[in-house]
Structure 1
């Protein structure tokens, strides 16, 4: 399947993302209904369609994409609905993300499984896209006539550790350039046992791909990383850290760990645990991020079976994650809040945090 996709990538890439129906105002019935579905009925004001600001709610949309209700506004963290090799495993579509009427989209890095739907969603909603300058240029190129704004948080010359502080609506945001996951030599001592779960391709039989869905994602297969950004979002009384990759900072940018340790106290950290270095150093890299950030709660991400045949279900990471938590230097350690696919997709009760 991948060989066919890459072989025909030239003509496929010429097709732009399918146009989506523009979003409606928050008080419109469609928007309110979609927000109630993603965030829970009690989280949304039925008259205005606005999220209640007394809680932070996230809804997992597969891989590292989340819908976020925080400070009375709606945002997207990454923007891609998995459907490359299976359709319907994640019970959402790009149109659903448009119908949330997000105010902004935050991109962690530019690979297809993180930013593949960003252009179409931003075009249909007018949401501002935050990421590196390279992310913005690549996402603009996803649509024919981009009319949405992008905010560049550094460019190709930025170094790991570069920091940007800004506000988006009710959120105070800190963005820090870090590293994408990459394989390094096994660390002795200090590393972790290598880990790679056996692929589980059966999902393809139960949720087979469709030509149109496959083509939409295949058109983005060669999109570049464009830099990798970690975000901390803050409202009074709560701070959330989200990063869609966990890189080998130990070898290549140890000073970034010191910068992460100096962030304001973090209540919840959502971090990628699947990465290229797991075949050499297991889950060591995610552990180093957790040790530096020291959250109250850690939520693993990028560990679901979004690419059946190459990935496995999130449950296979439970054992190695618990082993890593036994090695954490923090006392007390963060609470591990596991998330399992597909049951926890669009399950806001699992990620609701009262203020």
Structure 2
């Protein structure tokens, strides 16, 4: 992480009587819709979706506000706006409806370090209220325990994901500093199943879809699929070498984290809807699970306005970018932002520029292509995207979507 941000986070943490960065939870005072005082106190519970009691909005301390203003910019939470900040691979900070949360939680670090201008310390300092995990592999969830343990953020994910996150937090004796909201297991519910939960008492329910992780699947190859081999950009690794033995050891210890299912999350704020997923599997119609996921992608409440989706996967050498294109084809977003395509690991992470022209070809092949807001590393790291949820465009259904036919 860069020195100015590291210094700012350290300053914010130093001013806390019970620091957000050393495990204190002084920011757990929450305010419900009616303005009356309320307190949500996490205790290390695992709560199934059906048993979850919606929690009120969290009050923000001056110290947390300072960290948010420094790291995210002023007015990170703004009435009537949804904002997002990309901090590598599929990890995003998102604000909306008076709340601030994370999608995935990993500071991209391994052979490289400091390529992304924020790290786990800064993300913990902004005190996210929840962390939605797409799956449990290291490049998506390795820092969830660190951040949740220091913020009290609810961790949303499967049983297996919760086990890994709690184990990481236990290294600092913070395993009881947050609760897990359990979406299921690695195999249950079946792919194509959508569940809902009201995480907060002042926001619409979040839809949670079990889908399919990327995989090399020659059995799903179809006529017209075009293999794609990208040319990786190695400069980020040469220019940002990781020289910290401690970070190397931490990185190596996370390489065997369990997948724990594959989860997509859909949010609705007024007429505006947002879909996020950190993997794209071979959801071909000839496979029953694939067909079920296809149908589910076009069945979310209010359909999909903005889609944040992984475009890189293990099927790329066989079927090119067909699999992520299928996710877009069946979700019918108005705007699409790619992720998991940056230089996060040597060779595997090719850097965004390596996929741009091929991805645009895939989008141009669609009958109703979305506007592509092509995130590019490193210039788009922590560069905010802002959506006005009252913009009338969100009330207009995207052509080809289920909503257009209603």
Fold conserved (TM > 0.5)?
yes
> What's the offset of the Cα at 1:254?
1.5
CA deviation digits over 1:262-314, x for unaligned, max 9?
Answer: 11221100000010011111110111110111011000000000113432210
* Pair 1:97-2:98 in alignment: no
Match of 1:176 among 209, 222, 225: 209
* Pair 1:263-2:300 in alignment: yes
Segments of 4+ moved more than 6 angstroms: none
Q: Which residue of 1 aligns with 2:143?
A: 117
Q: Which residue of 1 aligns with 2:392?
A: none
Q: Which residue of 2 aligns with 1:312?
A: 350
Task: Tell me how far apart the structure 2 counterparts of residues 90 and 244 of structure 1 sit (CA, whole Å).
Answer: 18
Structure 2: unaligned runs, 5 residues or longer: 1-19, 28-58, 390-406
Tell me, what secondary structure is at the counterpart of 1:253?
A: helix
Q: Which residue of 1 aligns with 2:321?
A: 283
Q: Are 2:145 and 2:166, in contact at CA under 8 Å, matched by a contact in 1?
A: yes
Q: Superposed, which structure 2 residues align to 1:105-254 within 5 Å?
A: 105-144=131-170, 145=173, 146-147=175-176, 148-158=178-188, 159-169=190-200, 170-185=203-218, 187-191=221-225, 193-209=226-242, 210-250=244-284, 251=287, 252-254=289-291
Tell me, what secondary structure is at the counterpart of 1:174?
A: strand
Of 66-75 and 131-140, more deviation after overlay is shown by 131-140
Task: Tell me how far apart the structure 2 counterparts of residues 347 and 131 of structure 1 sit (CA, whole Å).
Answer: 27
* Pair 1:56-2:82 in alignment: yes
Q: Are 1:79 and 1:118, in contact at CA under 8 Å, matched by a contact in 2?
A: yes
* Pair 1:347-2:383 in alignment: yes
Q: Are 2:233 and 2:354, in contact at CA under 8 Å, matched by a contact in 1?
A: no
Tell me, what secondary structure is at the counterpart of 2:387?
A: strand
> What's the offset of the Cα at 1:190?
4.3
Structure 1 residues 59 and 171, CA, compared in 2 at 3 Å: closer, same or farther? farther
Structure 1 residues 254 and 231, CA, compared in 2 at 3 Å: closer, same or farther? same
Task: Tell me how far apart the structure 1 counterparts of residues 347 and 297 of structure 2 sit (CA, whole Å).
Answer: 35
Q: Are 1:24 and 1:99, in contact at CA under 8 Å, matched by a contact in 2?
A: no
Tell me, what secondary structure is at the counterpart of 2:195?
A: strand
> What's the offset of the Cα at 1:73?
0.6
Instruction: Give the TM-score taking structure 2 as reference length.
Output: 0.77
Q: Which residue of 2 aligns with 1:76?
A: 102
Q: Which residue of 2 aligns with 1:47?
A: none
Q: Which residue of 1 aligns with 2:372?
A: 336
Q: Are 2:186 and 2:262, in contact at CA under 8 Å, matched by a contact in 1?
A: no
Instruction: Give the TM-score taking structure 1 as reference length.
Output: 0.87
Tell me, what secondary structure is at the counterpart of 1:36?
A: helix
> What's the offset of the Cα at 1:52?
1.3
Tell me, what secondary structure is at the counterpart of 2:205?
A: strand
Q: Are 1:39 and 1:57, in contact at CA under 8 Å, matched by a contact in 2?
A: no
Q: Are 1:314 and 1:339, in contact at CA under 8 Å, matched by a contact in 2?
A: yes
Structure showing greater Rg? 2
Q: Are 1:271 and 1:299, in contact at CA under 8 Å, matched by a contact in 2?
A: yes
Of 298-307 and 133-142, more deviation after overlay is shown by 133-142
Task: Tell me how far apart the structure 2 counterparts of residues 309 and 259 of structure 1 sit (CA, whole Å).
Answer: 33
> What's the offset of the Cα at 1:27?
4.1
CA deviation digits over 1:216-272, x for unaligned, max 9?
Answer: 121110111110001101111211000000001114521210111111221100000
Task: Tell me how far apart the structure 2 counterparts of residues 95 and 221 of structure 1 sit (CA, whole Å).
Answer: 21
Structure 1: unaligned runs, 5 residues or longer: 1-18, 45-50
> What's the offset of the Cα at 1:92?
0.6
> What's the offset of the Cα at 1:153?
0.7
Task: Tell me how far apart the structure 2 counterparts of residues 163 and 249 of structure 1 sit (CA, whole Å).
Answer: 16
> What's the offset of the Cα at 1:87?
1.0
Q: Are 1:24 and 1:101, in contact at CA under 8 Å, matched by a contact in 2?
A: no
Q: Relative contact order: is structure 1 or structure 2 higher (C-alpha 8 Å, sep ≥ 6)?
A: 1
Q: Superposed, which structure 2 residues align to 1:293-304 within 5 Å?
A: 293-304=331-342
